[in-house]
Homo-oligomer: A and B are copies of this chain.
Amino acid sequence: MRIAVDAMGGDKGPRATVAGAARAVIEDPQLDIQLFGPAGLLDDEISRLPRPLAAAASHLHLCDAPDIIPADMRASQALRRGHASSMARMLDCVAAGEADVGVSSGNTGALMALSRRALGMVPGVPRPAISTAIPTRGDGRCYLLDLGANVDVSAERLVDFALMGDIMARHVDGLAAPRIALLNVGVESTKGSLAVQQADAALRQVAGIDYLGFIEGDGVFAGQADVVVCDGFVGNVLLKASEGLAKMLVGRVQATFEAHWGSRLVGMLARPALRRLKSELDPVRYNGASLLGLAGIVIKSHGSCDAQGFYYALKRASQEVSRDLPSRLEAELDHRRPSSGPLSGGSVDMDDGQQEL
């Protein structure tokens, strides 16, 4: 399997991406990874890999790309001026069939716009939707989409998100009948915006999906559904607020134990448990968001992730390749849409207005 990596994206840059790539290779020697970025800089990073990871070097291939897409560059600018960037060249490599999947921690809006141009879309899908798994009660997980690619969406797009989530959960995660729910401010049919109400009515007409109806915010983490659908504004706020809250709570857990435990012995005993807890709550565990609806496979890694997080994104990438997600979407999406609700052509094309994950 060949993975193309934009080595220059994310807050931690090539230090995280190169080490993450090396770790993925060590674990799976079938992997070949093409690293895109300024060749000299990447060469340095590879030569600085510590001993156990250095063995991966023969599977890490340098692909020179002089430019970088800054985190605050608009998607429209990236489309115009980003041709020599590590992100664009990584995507060109996927588009040319020289890699099976592309991975980047960089600017989400730019990645979406450049991916769409380089790879095209599954027929009938106007823009990618972004989806990631979030942890739920009882060690479960749940796909949430959209996470910011589409801030103003029609009922038809919400239905598409539900179908794409269903296809992903079945084929990538092997669930026989994923439970699909639509996020709303109440569970009664009269609640919510017009788009949400129309999408609910349409989803009830779709055969072959386990559609639960509306779900409220507290139901997401309760593990009531395997796929939760919402517009990109709501999904982005939910995901980021959850990251912020988790960080705050972990801080309070630590402070509680530090403030109230006089005994040094108890503090020492608590430390390993707290460490485990912190890693369990770490959102990076599920790092690797899918850009669903592209005619190829692109994984967006969290911008703040470290080598370990980037490694998870690479694992996610190889999972999606082995299940050939875009072909599944293409084969199943169109004929599963409710016949009464054809895709509206009126999707707003304003990449610059989108999210930053």
Spell out A's residues near B (CB within 8 Å): 72, 74, 135-137, 148, 151-152, 183, 185-186, 188, 190-194, 197, 216-222, 230, 232-234, 236-249, 251-253, 256-257, 260-261, 263, 266, 269-270, 272-273, 276-277, 280-281, 352-356
Please determine whether B245 and A273 come into contact, CB atoms closer than 8 angstroms.
no
Residue from B220, B237, B256, B281 within 8 A of A249 (CB atoms): B281
Interchain nearest-CB distance for A113 vs B (Å): 13
Interchain Cβ contacts under 8 Å between A and B, 24 examples: A135-B248, A148-B185, A183-B237, A185-B356, A186-B354, A190-B352, A193-B233, A216-B356, A217-B241, A220-B241, A220-B244, A221-B247, A221-B248, A222-B244, A237-B237, A237-B238, A241-B242, A245-B246, A246-B249, A249-B281, A252-B280, A261-B269, A266-B270, A270-B270
Query: Main SS of the interface on chain A?
Result: helix
* Chain B contacts for A280, CB-based, 8 A: 252, 256
* Cβ–Cβ contact A248 & B137, under 8 A: yes
Q: Give A20 to B173 CA distance when docked, in angstroms.
A: 48
Closest B residue to A240 by beta carbon equals B217
Q: Are A137 and B251 in contact (CB under 8 A)?
A: yes
